[in-house]
């Protein structure tokens, strides 16, 4: 009975989010003039307020922190809906639900929770993650940014790249290798404050995503900013990675649905050589295949979310498999959708052009195919 209730609750939640996107997000997006690349802060604040009223904020954050405490599975359903608009792939509901916080923050001390986590939740802000480095974007174990112990503080040197959504964050976390006397490197997580003295430089990836590189030159950080034990950082980050992979995959489902909607509508309308595009087997195959893969991707995403929610050991690898399949599926659907639209797909009047860039990024973001394939091979002891 419990499961049935659960499903009906999820169904209500799904419809609530769908209505919210249709009634608030899409009109706000369409009210922007010209080629929409981002939403104004005023619009985002207004949407955040409405989302709060609808109970749609800080979805994954623990209830103790002021969040909704929803499990990952429920969030996959929410984000599949919330991604279904132009900016929705990397800014679901134009960030109106506030940013997702990594569950590894549960390892924070009560003082850290009070000082960083709770204020961020109440302001709808997130936590930026300084993990990847410029060239070693897939190897958590090979990071070069390091910290040396100095009394009750650590001295950090090195750089971090490709940090997303720094502007929307209340604070951040960084993974560095702590060097102890015996020279073993122990990956460890520390909290960063926005006004900490690191060099910050913004860049734009593939003409669509603003992100940051930060550099540390003998940056001193108190040991009381550490999260978890020294040496525990890599494993904690892997949990964050799995959660993020699942949420990214859920958003892939959302934009895939929208892209297929666009593809179908255009194929039925556009006439070439006396027939609608939808009558040509090449086009029918593109769209029908899209539906097959979308369904398979959704099953994988839900499976991975359930495994993580239930603490299953294979959750981490299931999340990677879901991420691989969902991003590849969305990439193919968006590519086909663009092809069906021809020049109109290459133009930014429709969101397909934006998604084409974002999905190329998503294929590399949070582990790329080659790394995941190797991890799967290892997981089956190959």
Residues in contact with other proteins by CB under 8 A are: 34-35, 132, 134-135, 137-139, 142, 161-162, 203-207, 270-273, 280, 282-283, 338-339, 342-349, 353, 356-357, 360-361, 363-365, 368-370
* CB 84, min distance to other proteins, A: 21
- The span from the CA of 138 to the CA of 131, in Å, is 10
* CB 130, min distance to other proteins, A: 14
- The span from the CA of 15 to the CA of 177, in Å, is 45
Distances (CA, A) of 188 to 111, 147, 354: 19, 9, 36
Which tokens go with 363?
């294929």
Distance of CA 76 to the CA centre of its chain: 11
* CB 23, min distance to other proteins, A: 27
Q: Dihedral angle at the C-alpha atoms of 177, 118, 323, 51, nearest 10 degrees? A: -160
Measured from the CB atom, is 117 or 367 closer to other proteins? 367
* CB 103, min distance to other proteins, A: 24
Residue reference for tokens 């006396």: 274
Measured from the CB atom, is 46 or 138 closer to other proteins? 138
* CB 371, min distance to other proteins, A: 9
* CB 144, min distance to other proteins, A: 11
* CB 349, min distance to other proteins, A: 7
Measured from the CB atom, is 77 or 263 closer to other proteins? 263
User: How many residues are recorded in the chain?
Assistant: 382
Whether residue 74 contacts residue 13, with contact meaning beta carbons closer than 8 Å, is answered with yes
Whether residue 194 contacts residue 212, with contact meaning beta carbons closer than 8 Å, is answered with no
Measured from the CB atom, is 18 or 270 closer to other proteins? 270
Phi-psi region of 94 (alpha: psi -120 to 50; beta: other; left: phi over 0): left
35's CB contacts (< 8 A; 6+ apart) are: 348
Q: Which of 216, 108, 210 is nearest to 159 (CA)?
A: 216
Measured from the CB atom, is 100 or 353 closer to other proteins? 353
Measured from the CB atom, is 145 or 338 closer to other proteins? 338
């Amino acid at each position: 009975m419990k499961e049935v209730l659960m499903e009906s609750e999820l169904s209500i939640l799904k419809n609530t989010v769908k209505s919210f996107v249709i009634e608030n997000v899409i009109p706000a997006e369409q009210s922007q003039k010209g080629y929409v690349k981002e939403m104004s802060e005023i619009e985002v604040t207004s949407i955040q307020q409405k989302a709060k009223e609808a109970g749609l904020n800080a979805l994954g954050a623990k209830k103790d922190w002021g969040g909704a405490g929803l499990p990952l599975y429920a969030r996959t359903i929410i984000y599949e809906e919330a991604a279904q608009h132009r900016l929705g792939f990397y800014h679901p509901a134009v960030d109106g639900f506030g940013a997702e916080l990594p569950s590894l923050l549960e390892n924070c001390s009560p003082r850290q929770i009070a000082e960083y986590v709770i204020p961020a939740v109440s302001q709808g802000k997130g936590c930026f993650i300084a993990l990847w480095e410029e060239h070693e974007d897939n190897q958590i174990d090979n990071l070069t940014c390091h910290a040396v112990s100095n009394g009750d503080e650590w001295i950090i040197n090195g750089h971090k790249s490709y940090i997303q959504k720094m502007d929307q964050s209340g604070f951040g976390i960084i993974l560095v290798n702590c060097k102890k006397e015996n020279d073993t490197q122990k990956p460890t997580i520390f909290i960063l404050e926005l006004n900490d003295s690191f060099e910050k430089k913004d860049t734009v990836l593939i003409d669509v995503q603003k992100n940051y590189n930060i550099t540390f030159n003998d940056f001193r950080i108190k040991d009381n900013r550490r999260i978890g034990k020294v040496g525990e950082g890599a494993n904690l980050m892997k949990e964050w990675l799995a959660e993020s992979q699942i949420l990214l995959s859920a958003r892939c489902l959302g934009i895939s649905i929208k892209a297929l909607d666009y593809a179908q509508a255009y194929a039925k309308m556009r006439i070439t050589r006396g027939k609608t595009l939808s009558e040509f087997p090449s086009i029918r195959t593109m769209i029908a295949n899209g539906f097959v893969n979308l369904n398979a991707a959704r099953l994988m995403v839900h499976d991975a979310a359930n495994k993580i929610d239930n603490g299953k050991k294979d959750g981490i690898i299931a999340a990677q498999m879901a991420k691989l399949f969902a991003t590849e599926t969305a990439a193919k659907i968006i590519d086909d959708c663009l092809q069906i639209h021809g020049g109109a797909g290459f133009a930014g009047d429709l969101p397909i052009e934006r998604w084409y860039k974002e999905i190329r990024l998503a294929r590399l973001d949070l582990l790329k195919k080659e790394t995941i394939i190797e991890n799967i091979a290892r997981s089956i002891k190959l």
